[in-house]
Chains A and B, each alone.
Chain A
Amino acid sequence: MNNIKIITEHWGKINPLKIEDYVSVGGYEALKEFIEKSDSEGALKEVKLSRLSGRGGAGFLTGVKWEMVSAQKGEKYFVCNLDESEPGTYKDRLIAENNPHLLLEGLVLSALTIGAKKSYIYLNGNYEKAKEVLARAILQAQERKFLGTKILSSKYSLEIEIFSGAGAYICGEETALLSSIEGNRGEPKMRPPYPTECGLFGKPTVVNNAETIASIPWIIQNGGKKYLKCATKLFVLGGSVKNMGVFEAPIATTIDEAITKLGGGMQDGKEFWFAQVGGASGGIYLEKELGGPILGSGAILVVDRTADIYDLLLSWTGFFRRESCGKCVPCREGTFRLHEIAERLVDGEIADRDKEALNDILWTLENTTFCPLGKFAATAVRNAIDKLGILK
């Protein structure tokens, strides 16, 4: 594995509360370069060349998304998605807490490139420490003219506002997130029109994950071609591995490599059973299936043979029942019934009728819900039936 660190390079080495620490390690140089050249088209070209894909789960190409919005005239918004409510995922929180200025520099570069003058950071409502750190960083960046009106005495201006969520997993979905800022229930909206055409307050809007944005300064400084060769991603390891936590590694890292090399392998005396990749909405991978890439949010939960699968089953179904936004019937009712049946299964009261219903409910969730949350709710349960045989 190559050891290049694009996002975590300075974690723990610089004081996140001091902008001068970040500047002393070359921080805001990418922004200075951008302002000097005053070439947003060039910046967009580098991001496209880098083939940077979204780190929020869907993996959409960032350059393509930006191009759609930068081509449009008039008022636009750039939104940083730091809602991060996927269970087992806390990489974005650590980005904000350990090096907030890297995120801010990336955010300024991104917003200026697409031509936005206003940007929001949609922050998980439970992330209080990250909020303080970011708020302070914004003030410091304003004082140094990296942010605000006439950035570094140029024609560019940008205002960044932190918008705190209020505890709703669905608000990580981009259209729900925008509804939430607009003072509505955080329910997803019909797409198309996509946020890139009709987003926040009806204006073209780019929504990007915090990790995606934190990769931008490096790309602007080192070029997209170089990034393409050494792209990294943050992975969050949890469960029965020796080392829990957030690690940066090449994007092509396989599940197996992540567990053994980053996580240090299994804890002593524990035997691998399966890994759940991508948080509660992620699928289950058995030992023979660990050769593939790490999809979704980058979270890997390693489960050993001593685990009680019923605890996990109730954890998944309970989570989605709580977090279903209630907008569409298949998900609102489906997640509720799924949890009920899971409870009966755990209590040993499951009937044949339940087993049939379970199949119908899973199919409905997979195929008919308004937004992907419904599908997420079915994934792990379906895998647990097929691969772990929990109904047998």
Chain B
Amino acid sequence: MQNNVTVEKILVSYDPEVQNLLPVLKKISAVFGFIGSKDAEIVAEYFGLSLAKICEVASFYDLIKTRKPANLEIKVCSSGDCALGSSAEIIQEIENYFRIKAGDEFNPKVRLEKNSCLGRCAEGPIMIVNGKVFEKVTVSSVHRILGEYV
């Protein structure tokens, strides 16, 4: 997290116009990891919109988080090329390793999700760990990559 950045400071760099709502929400989520309910209230007031409206928009998009992320957020692409290129086995490997299931939210430390295509198919299978993208991942390289995080 950057020092001294507050939601208010982010807001003043945008005019309170509707087309700035998505950019603002994205920015807050990127800086703080997610948008908490207090932050959402501040945004609602700044834009003169209802809190429901802010939550409705924020919860729609994948790149805006409305909950505190886990310490370790893993995503594995499961589209087309990656699916043909063994992403299912990679997911299974991670599931066994952490004793979690993709999509479950029981473990507050690690979360695994299947991801839609990032348009890097020629470099797949693709895995994203805490926002960092790894290419040409294999069942064996997955351990080396995740080893750096645990």
Interface residues of A (CB under 8 A from B): 84-90, 93, 124-127, 163-169, 180-186, 236, 238-240, 244-245, 276, 279-280, 299, 301, 303, 307-308, 311-312, 314-315, 318-319, 322-323, 325
B108 interfacial contact with A, CB 8 Å? no
Pair B122/A303 contact, Cβ less than 8 Å: no
A76 to chain B minimum Cβ distance, whole angstroms, is 16
Question: For B120, what are the chain A residues with a Cβ–Cβ distance below 8 Å?
Answer: 90
Residue of B nearest to A187 (CB): B60
A183 touches B20 (CB 8 A): yes
**Beyond A180-B22, A299-B80, 8 extra complex contacts between A and B, CB < 8 Å:** A87-B79, A87-B121, A88-B81, A125-B61, A127-B119, A182-B18, A312-B80, A318-B114
Q: Is the CB of B81 within 8 A of A301?
A: yes
Q: Which of B26, B83, B84 contacts A166 (CB 8 A)?
A: B26
Residues of B within 8 A of A (CB): 18-23, 25-26, 47, 56-57, 60-64, 78-81, 83-84, 87-88, 114, 116-122
Selected A-B contacts with CB under 8 Å, 29 pairs: A84-B119, A87-B80, A89-B117, A89-B119, A124-B119, A125-B26, A164-B26, A165-B63, A166-B61, A168-B60, A168-B62, A180-B22, A181-B22, A183-B47, A185-B56, A236-B121, A238-B121, A238-B122, A244-B122, A280-B79, A280-B117, A311-B87, A311-B88, A312-B83, A312-B84, A318-B78, A318-B114, A319-B116, A325-B60
In whole angstroms, how far apart are the Cα atoms of A364 and B116 in the complex? 24
- When chains A and B are docked, how far (Å) is the Cα of A319 from the Cα of B116? 6
With A276-B80, A301-B80, A303-B84: A186-B117 Cβ-Cβ less than 8 Å: no
A239 with B19: CB separation less than 8 A: no
Given that A125-B63, A163-B19, A311-B84 are contacting pairs, would A319 and B79 also be in contact in the complex, using a CB cutoff of 8 Å? yes
Q: Is the CB of B119 within 8 A of A245?
A: no
The CA of A90 and the CA of B121, in the complex, are separated in Å by 8
State whether A88 touches B121 (Cβ < 8 A): yes
Closest A residue to B118 by beta carbon equals A126
A88/B57 in contact, CB under 8 A: no
Kindly provide the distance from the CB of A17 to the nearest chain B CB, expressed in whole angstroms. 20
Task: Report yes or no: A183 in contact with B21, Cβ–Cβ below 8 A.
Answer: yes
Beta-carbon contact of B21 and A167 below 8 Å: no
Chain A residues contacting B21 (CB-CB under 8 Å) are 183
| Residues on A with beta carbons closer than 8 Å to the beta carbon of B118 | 126
Minimal beta-carbon separation of B23 from chain A (angstroms): 7
Sorted from nearest, which 9 A-B pairs have the closest CB atoms? A167-B62, A90-B119, A183-B18, A166-B61, A183-B21, A87-B79, A87-B117, A315-B83, A167-B63
Q: Is the CB of A315 within 8 A of B61?
A: no
Please state if B121 and A307 are interface contacts (CB–CB under 8 Å): no
Q: Could you tell me if B80 and A280 are in contact, using CB atoms closer than 8 angstroms?
A: yes
**Chain B positions within 8 Å of A322 at CB level:** 114, 116
A320, closest chain B residue (CB): B116
Task: Point out the residues of chain B lying under 8 angstroms from A180, CB to CB.
Answer: 22
Q: What's the least CB distance linking A168 to chain B, in Å?
A: 5
Tell me which residues across on chain B come within 8 A of A186, comparing CB atoms.
60-61
Residues on A with C-beta less than 8 A from B121 are 87-88, 90, 236, 238, 244
Q: Interface centre among B19, B47, B117, by most A CB within 10 Å?
A: B117
Within the complex, what minimum Cβ distance (angstroms) separates B130 from chain A?
15
Q: Which residue of A lies closest to B20 (CB)?
A: A183
Nearest chain A residue, comparing its CB with the CB of B64: A166
Complex: A48 Cα to B26 Cα, angstroms: 39
